[in-house]
Chain A
Amino acid sequence: MKHSTFFWFFLPTGLAMLLFIALPLVSVVLQSVHTPHEAVLVTVENCGPFGCKKETTIDQDATSTLRTAEPLGRFVGLDIYFDRGHLAINEVRDAWATSESWGGFFSKLGNLPFYRAMAFTLTFTFTVTPLLIAFGLMIALGVNALSERVKGLVIFVSLLPMIVTPLIGSLILFWMIDSRGILGNAIQWLAADPDLSLKASTGLTWVMLIVYGVWHSAPFAFVVFYAGLQTLPMDQIESARIDGANRWEQVRYVIIPHLMPLITFVALIQLMDNFRVFEPIVGFNAEAHATSLSWIIFNDLGGETRQLSAAATTSMLTIFGVAILLTPVLWRTWQDFKGKS
């Protein structure tokens, strides 16, 4: 392609990417290295229905002078990245110096918001992603073997979990697993323990979130794999059969290698998605047991005093996290690509 053709062809996409990807990123980076100015506080008399009281408030005139002088706020470099709410460098060093065992160190680490969130996020990502790929493949193989008449209906039904809005889906499940709900009650009956509560136990809450994650995302893997199965080379399957391969061996040695690029694709997308797990935590009211980086951002922005710099820093850490997570997969794809060409 001629350079000028390429340029004009790419220009609209490039502009959109600049506007919607690059600029917001720059703004988040800037926000994460700046904090609001030192508040100028004054003591004033406030009056209301319950009488008058001397209270501290922000001196708006003095603060607005500071703001006009430096509209971005104070430049603090990487201070926010290293504070207790994020990488907590000092706290981690202390924990390392004062703990006798690995267990003690990890329990101290789990007390810091960032590492606590990472513990759940990574567990979630690395259990949900393989499970949903396995389930997606099983459903796709099952549906593919059905007769044409019922296929359409079964495909529609299998897609339902993905169609339900995540927040709504998790809310419905949240009510069902309540200790007075149908699933919660059933589990109490099965375990013969009337005090058992899914919502009160950290371990069970994690299991519930993971089950929800698989339930919600398996249909995505299913659709992709099902599409891939339509391009299956029938002659290869046939020759495998003639060689005496049973159903499992056909799947293992013909179908999975054929679907491998799609499996990589699903793994990539789902690693990214699961790393940003958010809606189920809100929907299940699970923040006492499980948090994620996205939930921390939500919490920073949702308090009565919004912490924009903290939220921006956590956003940057999320981007780094996704990048690190995807490196091995991308590296392999790159190697395959180089090998082929």
Chain B
Amino acid sequence: MYLKKMALTSAVAIMASTAAHACNISARVSVVGNEFPAIQTVGKGAQACSGADVSTNLTADHQKINVAGMSGNPAEYTSAIIANSSIVALMNNDVIRPLDDLVAKHGGDLKKNQLITIDGKVMAVAFMANAQHLVYREDVLKKIGMEPPKTYEEMLAAADKIRKAGIMENPVGGAYKAGWNLAQEFNNMFLGYGGSHFKDGSAQPNVNSAAGVNALNMMKSLSAYMNPDFLTHDSNATNAEFRAGNVAIMNMWGSRAATLVDVDGVSDEVKDGMNIAGPMTVGGGNVPASTLWWDGWTVAKNVSNAEAEATFIAMMNGIDPSILKDEDIRKQAVWLIDGYAPTDAARGVFAAAQANTIPYPMLPYMGLLHTALGAELSDFMQGKESAEQALADVEAAYIAAAKEKGFL
């Protein structure tokens, strides 16, 4: 372990020094973004640039501060690392700039599918893909004589067997924390049942439907096999349950699954038993109950051209193909960077992409619906109201918010 750490630190040190050679900037760079391992790597790569100050603020609360931090003139943050959901808020508020000229000048290594174009203009550079997919304990499933579940119905059957065999009391894990996480799990299940969030081409909500009710009922059935505190468990808490050996099957983010058991204190049983597979389908549907995501970076609109250029160069350094030489970095994510060969840890996300999983909707009003789902579904999950009532509440809450924001 110690030797491995030594090797890693020296590898990072060598990498940083070689990167510093290549990257020279002449203006301030300030990055805000989420905090999972792959983004930490990109942030470190940007900070390896010399010539001017590069600061990063990587936090799970990034989307609470990025719009505010980029609205001023000059903006506090010259770059925000975002995903296909959170770019919408930056677009809605018009705080990021088109990158076409910078891509032409400094974007040598970028592949076409890394460029996020909106109405023909490059607005972000994607560096990784992400999806939620199955993470399971192979040893536990062997004990009950089952294959890894391909559908949520099989997952329920497996959970029941594990509980009855007395192996685990609450074998299913899920990030069902009231708020963003719970809403996201609903989105997965809803799309898996063939639902679509809005009536065609409009901002009118469409979740109070058969697909919505089915999705909620499936979530309720799953929650019976979860830790009773599930409404307070986000993905970190769910992972902690898995690491502690309390959970055998869960739907987890690819970006977190790869490094799930690489922390101190995880028993060998969990380490050796952990395995990953593609996302599950539900209700006989053929579209996985999951969503596809990309993570990428943007450049602020309200900064000087010099700062924008410096930011672009620094962020390009953060996603330089040379970072993939490091084995540990390679398995942190499904990189979209040139020269990436998928590792074992990537097959969950790859399977999601191959199974035609639907990308998370990039619509100006999706954030409002997501918030409404997060606030209104917990009553149903606690058994306080019917699925129809919960979904009617979601639509009513969304309509009030969408009217306020001028979408309806």
Instruction: Give me the interface of A with B, judged by CB distance under 8 Å.
Output: 35-39, 41-50, 53, 55-58, 60, 63-64, 74, 80, 83-85, 91, 111, 113, 178-179, 195, 197, 199-200, 202, 284-289, 299, 301-307, 309-310
Contact = CB atoms under 8 A, between A and B. Distances in A.
Interface-centre pick from A35, A45, A289 (highest chain B CB count, 10 A): A289
Contact of B94 (A60, A83, A178, A302): A60
B365 interface: yes
B359 interface: yes
A58 B364 contact: yes
Nearest to A84: B400
A182 to B, nearest CB: 15
B120 A45 contact: yes
Contact of B382 (A49, A58, A288, A310): A288
A55 B178 contact: no
A305 B294 contact: no
Interface of B: 61, 63-64, 67, 84-86, 88-89, 91-92, 94, 113-120, 126, 129, 177-179, 201, 203, 227-232, 292, 294, 336, 353, 359, 361-368, 370-371, 375, 378-379, 381-382, 385, 389, 393, 396-397, 399-401, 403-407
Contacts of A305: 88-89, 92, 364-365, 367-368, 371, 401, 405
A200 B371 contact: no
A287 B379 contact: no
B375 A64 contact: no
B228 A179 contact: yes
A287 B400 CA distance: 20
29 contacts: A35-B405, A37-B406, A39-B364, A39-B406, A45-B117, A46-B116, A46-B117, A46-B118, A47-B116, A50-B129, A50-B292, A50-B353, A55-B361, A57-B91, A57-B364, A80-B404, A85-B404, A91-B396, A113-B375, A178-B229, A195-B228, A199-B228, A288-B232, A289-B382, A302-B61, A304-B88, A304-B370, A305-B92, A305-B371
Given A49-B126, A200-B228, A36 B91 contact: no
A99 to B, nearest CB: 14
Contact of A48 (B67, B126, B363): B126
Given A57-B91, A179-B228, A111 B404 contact: no
Interface-centre pick from A44, A45, A111 (highest chain B CB count, 10 A): A111
Nearest to B127: A49
Given A38-B406, A57-B118, A49 B129 contact: yes
Contacts of A284: 232
Contacts of A179: 227-229
Given A60-B91, A302-B64, A305-B89, 19 more contacts: A35-B406, A38-B406, A43-B201, A48-B294, A48-B359, A53-B359, A56-B201, A60-B94, A84-B399, A85-B401, A113-B375, A199-B231, A288-B232, A304-B89, A305-B364, A305-B401, A305-B405, A306-B89, A310-B401
Given A48-B294, A285-B177, A299-B371, A202 B382 contact: yes
B378 to A, nearest CB: 4
B407 to A, nearest CB: 5
Nearest to A195: B228
Contacts of A195: 228
Given A36-B405, A50-B359, A302-B64, A287 B178 contact: yes
